[in-house]
Amino acid sequence: MKKQIELIVNGVRRELLVSPNDLLLNVLRDQLGLTGTKYGCGIGECCSCTVLVDGTPMLACLILAIGLDGSEIVTSKESPNQWGTHPVQESFLKHGAIQCGFCTPGMVVMGKALLDENPEPTEKEIREYIRGNLCRCTGYTQIVRAIQDADQTARHRA
């Protein structure tokens, strides 16, 4: 039996009908068309589906949507700011931190979450924070540089 829930997704209030076993990942992709949140492994091993739920990074492939009624969800496709994109997204482009792009949404969300918690992380802190996110292309160096540089970009705009 489906239940109506309300989510705030990327700043937009949404009313959705979900089944008890609908995963947040499937609701985002299938009902809302937010395909930027990737389906990678489906078992919580790759972190490609990372989203922020009430400000906390979570794996959308492991969360039932029905339990999130009233929650705020932020995906890698969050509403652009006045410059068009989030500083983390801009920095990923600037530093070539995107290759195949499959891990990118999860990495961007984790980068944003880290910078929200710690605006000036060290390389070691960044590597620790993104340790669960798997990337088979970049070797992480560009990703770490992009996250480090994203905060400086945001500070210059403030």
pLDDT digits (tens, 9 = 90+) for 104-134: 999 999 999 999 999 999 999 999 999 999 9
pTM, rounded to two decimals: 0.88
Q: Are residues 108 and 50 in the same domain?
A: no
Residue 153 located in a structural domain = yes
Q: Where are the alpha helices (DSSP H) in 9-140?
A: 24-26, 87-94, 104-117, 123-129
Per residue in 21-73, pLDDT (tens digit) is: 999 999 999 999 999 899 999 999 999 999 999 999 999 999 999 999 999 99
Number of domains in the chain: 2
Q: What is the biggest distance separating any 2 CA atoms in the chain, rounded to whole angstroms?
A: 50
Task: Supply the range of the domain harboring residue 26.
Answer: 3-74
CA distance 101 to 106: 10
Q: Are residues 58 and 105 in the same domain?
A: no
- Axis-axis angle for helices 141-157, 87-94 (nearest 10): 130
Among residues 44, 74, 104, which one ends one of the domains? 74
Per residue in 66-99, pLDDT (tens digit) is: 999 999 999 988 655 544 578 898 999 999 998 8
The two tokens of residue 21 are 């076993």
Q: Are residues 69 and 93 in the same domain?
A: no
Q: Are residues 69 and 91 in the same domain?
A: no
Residue 145 located in a structural domain = yes
Residue 80 located in a structural domain = no
Among residues 74, 98, 120, which one ends one of the domains? 74
Among residues 74, 101, 135, which one ends one of the domains? 74
